């Protein structure tokens, strides 16, 4: 059952990636493609990859934690990975995949998710 769910999710991600160009993707779609596997559908750090990770992904719905993190640190974490901001090495770098505009959009989106806009 778990394998079937994982296969279905992987197929959905491939379908989304292949059918939509980066320029046409909404920020929520980008989050769904690149972030949901670890941060979860509810954005609370409970994604499908969690059992295989030694560090729990950040809960993007946590207003206190997210509110204490400056936008530039979120941007750097997305662009350069967790290690760049002294967080988990398991957080990959997305700067080679996403444009700076998309990363800025993700930071704004995270502020909406946590209801901690700055």
- Whether 12 shows a pLDDT value over 60: the answer reads no
Residue 20 maps to a domain: no
* Cβ(47)–Cβ(36) below 8 Å: yes
State the chain's mean pLDDT as an integer: 86
Q: Is 68 exposed, middle or buried (0-12, 13-18, 19+ CB in 10 A)?
A: exposed
Domain membership of residue 52 as a residue range: 27-114
Q: Give CA–CA dist 95/81, Å, rounded.
A: 8
* Mean pLDDT along residues 42-54: 96
Percent of all residues in the chain with a pLDDT value above 70, rounded to a whole number: 79
CA distance 50 to 74: 20
| pLDDT tens-place string over residues 53-109 | 999 999 999 999 999 999 999 999 999 999 999 999 999 999 999 999 999 999 999
Radius of gyration of the chain (CA): 14
User: What's the rounded Cα separation, in Å, for the pair 62 and 44?
Assistant: 8
CATH number at residue 106: 1.10.760.10
Note whether residue 45 is domain-resident.
Answer: yes
- Asked, for residue 56, whether it belongs to a domain, the answer is yes
**Number of domains present in the structure of the chain:** 1
* pTM as predicted: 0.78
What is the full DSSP assignment across 13-76? HHHHHHHS-GGG--HHHHHHHHTHHHH-TTSSS--TTGGG-SSPPP-TT-HHHHHTS-HHHHHH
pLDDT band with cut points at 50, 70 and 90 for residue 2: low
Residue 17 covered by a domain: no
Contact between residue 16 and residue 29 where contact means Cβ atoms under 8 Å apart:
yes
At residue 10, does pLDDT exceed 50? no
């Amino acid at each position: 059952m778990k394998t079937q769910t994982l296969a279905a999710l992987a197929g959905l991600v491939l379908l989304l990636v292949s059918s939509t160009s980066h320029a046409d993707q909404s920020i929520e779609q980008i989050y769904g493609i690149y972030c949901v596997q670890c941060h979860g559908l509810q954005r609370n750090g409970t994604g499908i990859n969690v059992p295989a990770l030694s560090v729990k992904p950040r809960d993007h719905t946590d207003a206190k934690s997210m509110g204490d993190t400056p936008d530039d640190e979120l941007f750097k974490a997305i662009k350069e990975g967790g290690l760049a901001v002294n967080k988990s090495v398991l957080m990959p770098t997305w700067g080679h995949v996403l444009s700076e505009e998309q990363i800025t959009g993700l930071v704004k989106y995270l502020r909406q998710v946590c209801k901690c806009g700055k």
